[in-house]
């Protein structure tokens, strides 16, 4: 007995040393087998998890079997474990003779929703940290995984970053399955395929790729899949990590992927042939490929009449141009090209700037930086305080700066109009690009006037035409220009004219709307209308 005890202690010590070496050296093979003894498996779990307090281990004993049940507290539904796992397993009724205990318990005793068999040790951790319960049975080198997910999650609320007057008012949450369900509820088609993977060596974050089979371009789907599989990072905390790791062009201020918290926007883009990426823990879903004009399209554009939507969209584009070149136009006109300003206005501006000690560029720079600080402070402060600080701060500081002679009243007007125009861009990522480029254009206008501005805008246009998003030109369908695909660019055509999907995105079924969808009064020669009248 002493010899047998020493042998067992030696084996256990060797197993503990192997586990320690495995953790210290990640290059060792990780697909360790599951041990036949549930006690040995529990010892290994405690060692590798550092005896963490949230790991709950409950041993049980039946008529002619015993084992252990393991789960992570806070990730599971305790009621499901008690009613559908633990209570059937501790049943003392004798099992049928000559029966495989493991298979019998899996098929008859465990009554949870989804049941699977675990063959190696790595799958143990994947299931535990996903909210499942792992069941070890003595005498078997495999385990049972039962789905018992039940962690706390935020309820579905209204969108906060992309508001819409008309249309759905639900937004994504931080739970992966809730987000995929919001999309699946709107696309009741078996062609909506969802592929899941884990990204992050430490965080092991669940990530899903969504696309419509037969509509999405298979080359784009494969490229998205390849770029995600190429990511090698310790933690993935938000979808913004993925945006920065899969984009085509890093050295640009313009976003080359699109992100949104609105399910209806994601659904519309999936139907056009794009691919969506959903990250567990993030309420923002990424879609690709993205094109430039897409960032000026709001959900309201498609829920209203085409003439109203067209007018509002043109207004947004004009506001974007004002936000981009507003201060630089003022600097260039007052510094180099006074002859382009009406004489009366030139005299008024000169009278206002008589006591201002700074040139127009420094004056604009002071106001722009001050306004950016106020805007950032308003975002970081508590909601009730932040709005008051940003509004009151702008009014008080602007008035005080004018009275002190630091800036002129016309400059306060220019900066205010520029800031308000910047807020009209539907997507925050594109508004940020305009804010950054505005300072570059201000510097060029100070040096060369309107010639510097035109030079900057020319280089910006060349840069935009050189960008691609997953192989799709960023400025499509403007550059290269395609007259057949102008239904949804500057002018939004009626819905019944959207006969085809964008061919530069979708390479499958491009037919979108059937023939003869133009609305109109009933045909008087139609037999059905005559029958209704009679």
Which tens digit of pLDDT belongs to each residue from 93-142? 777 777 888 888 888 878 777 888 998 888 898 899 888 999 999 999 99
Q: Which pLDDT score, from 0 to 100, does residue 23 have? A: 41
Q: Does pLDDT of 145 surpass 60? A: yes
Q: Which pLDDT score, from 0 to 100, does residue 400 have? A: 82
Q: Which pLDDT score, from 0 to 100, does residue 384 have? A: 64
149 Cβ partners below 8 Å, 6+ apart? 75, 76, 77, 130, 131, 132
Q: Which pLDDT score, from 0 to 100, does residue 432 have? A: 92
Which tens digit of pLDDT belongs to each residue from 17-37? 444 444 434 443 456 889 999
Q: Which pLDDT score, from 0 to 100, does residue 525 have? A: 67
**Largest CA-CA distance found in the chain, in angstroms, rounded:** 110
For residue 234, give Cα distances in angstroms to 231, 237, 460.
10, 10, 36
Tally of helices (H runs) and strands (E runs) in the chain: 19, 12
DSSP 485: G
d(CA 298, CA 355): 44
d(CA 55, CA 71): 6
**Residue 195: alpha-carbon gap to chain centroid:** 16
Q: Does pLDDT of 359 surpass 80? A: yes
**Residue 136: alpha-carbon gap to chain centroid:** 38
DSSP 454: H
d(CA 414, CA 158): 34
Which tens digit of pLDDT belongs to each residue from 317-355? 999 999 999 999 999 999 998 888 888 988 888 888 888
List the chain domain ranges. Answer: 20-147, 176-290, 304-473
Stretch (H or E) spanning 442: helix 428-448
d(CA 450, CA 444): 8
Q: Which has more confidence, 178 or 388? A: 178
Which tens digit of pLDDT belongs to each residue from 466-497? 999 999 999 999 988 888 888 889 999 998 88
Q: Which pLDDT score, from 0 to 100, does residue 4 have? A: 47
Q: Does pLDDT of 250 surpass 90? A: no
* DSSP secondary structure letters along 158-207: --SSS--SSS------S-HHHHHHHHHHH---TTEEEEEEEE-TTT-EEE
Q: Which has more confidence, 486 or 530? A: 486
Using DSSP, state whether 43 is helix, strand or coil: helix
Helices (H), 273-359: 300-303, 306-335, 343-352
Which tens digit of pLDDT belongs to each residue from 90-106? 876 777 777 888 888 88
Give me the mean pLDDT over the 383-398 stretch.
68
Q: Which pLDDT score, from 0 to 100, does residue 22 have? A: 43
pLDDT band at 386 (very low <50, low <70, confident <90, very high): low
Give me the mean pLDDT over the 69-84 stretch.
89
The residue length of the chain stands at: 534
Q: Which pLDDT score, from 0 to 100, does residue 441 have? A: 95
Helices (H), 187-305: 218-229, 239-246, 263-272, 300-303
Which tens digit of pLDDT belongs to each residue from 193-213? 999 999 998 888 999 999 999
Strands 115-118 and 143-147: antiparallel
Give me the mean pLDDT over the 399-424 stretch.
87
φ and ψ at residue 211, rounded to 5 degrees: -160, 160
- Taking the CB of residue 447, how many other CB atoms lie within 10 A of it? 13
361 Cβ partners below 8 Å, 6+ apart? 331, 335, 442, 443, 445, 446
Which tens digit of pLDDT belongs to each residue from 340-350? 888 898 888 88
- % the chain with pLDDT above 90: 47
Stretch (H or E) spanning 478: none
When computed from its CA atoms, the radius of gyration of the chain, rounded to whole angstroms, is 32
């Amino acid at each position: 007995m002493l010899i047998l005890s020493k042998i067992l202690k030696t084996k256990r010590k060797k197993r503990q040393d192997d586990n320690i070496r495995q953790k210290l050296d990640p290059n060792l093979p990780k697909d360790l087998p599951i041990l036949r003894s549930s006690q040995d498996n529990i010892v290994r779990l405690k060692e590798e998890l550092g005896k963490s307090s949230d790991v709950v281990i409950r041993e049980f004993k039946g008529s002619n079997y015993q084992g252990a049940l393991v789960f992570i507290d806070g990730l599971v539904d305790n009621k499901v474990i008690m009613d559908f796992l633990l209570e059937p397993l501790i049943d003392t009724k004798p099992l049928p003779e000559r029966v495989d205990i493991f298979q019998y318990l899996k098929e008859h005793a465990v009554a949870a929703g989804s049941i699977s068999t675990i063959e190696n040790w790595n799958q143990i951790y994947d299931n535990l940290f996903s909210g499942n319960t792992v069941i070890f049975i003595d005498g078997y080198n495999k385990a049972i995984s039962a789905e018992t997910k039940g962690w706390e999650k935020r309820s579905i609320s209204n969108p906060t970053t992309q508001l819409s007057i008309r249309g759905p008012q639900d937004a994504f949450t931080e739970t992966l399955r809730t987000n995929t369900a919001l999309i699946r509820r709107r696309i009741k088609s078996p062609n909506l395929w969802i592929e899941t993977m884990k990204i992050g060596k430490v965080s092991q974050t669940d990530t899903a790729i969504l696309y419509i089979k037969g509509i999405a371009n298979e080359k784009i789907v494969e490229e998205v899949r390849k770029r995600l599989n190429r990511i090698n990072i310790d933690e993935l905390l938000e979808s913004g990590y993925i945006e920065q790791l899969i984009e085509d062009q890093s050295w640009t201020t313009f976003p080359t992927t699109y992100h949104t918290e609105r399910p209806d926007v994601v659904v519309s883009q999936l139907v056009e042939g794009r691919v969506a990426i959903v990250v567990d823990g993030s309420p923002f879903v990424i879609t690709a490929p993205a094109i430039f004009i897409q960032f000026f399209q709001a959900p309201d554009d498609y829920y209203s009449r085409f003439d109203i939507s067209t007018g509002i969209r043109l207004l947004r584009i004009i506001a974007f141009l004002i936000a981009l070149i507003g201060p630089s136009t003022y600097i260039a006109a007052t510094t180099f090209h006074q002859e382009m300003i009406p004489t009366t206005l030139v005299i008024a501006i000169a009278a206002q700037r008589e006591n201002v000690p700074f040139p127009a560029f420094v004056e604009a720079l002071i106001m722009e930086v001050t306004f950016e600080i106020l805007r950032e402070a308003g975002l970081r402060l508590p909601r009730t305080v932040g709005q008051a600080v940003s509004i009151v701060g702008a009014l008080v500081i602007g008035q005080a700066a004018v009275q002190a002679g630091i800036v002129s009243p016309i400059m306060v007007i220019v900066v205010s109009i520029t800031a308000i125009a910047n807020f009209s861009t539907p997507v925050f990522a594109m508004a940020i690009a305009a804010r950054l480029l505005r300072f570059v254009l201000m510097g060029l206008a100070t040096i060369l006037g309107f010639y510097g501005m035109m030079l900057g805008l020319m280089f910006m246009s060349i840069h935009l035409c050189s960008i691609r998003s997953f192989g799709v030109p960023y400025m499509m369908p403007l550059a290269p220009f395609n007259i057949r695909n102008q239904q949804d660019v500057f002018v939004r055509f009626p819905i019944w004219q959207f006969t085809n999907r964008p061919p530069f995105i979708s390479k499958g079924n491009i037919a979108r709307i059937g023939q003869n969808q133009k609305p109109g009064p009933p045909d008087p020669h139609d037999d059905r209308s005559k029958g209704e009248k009679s």
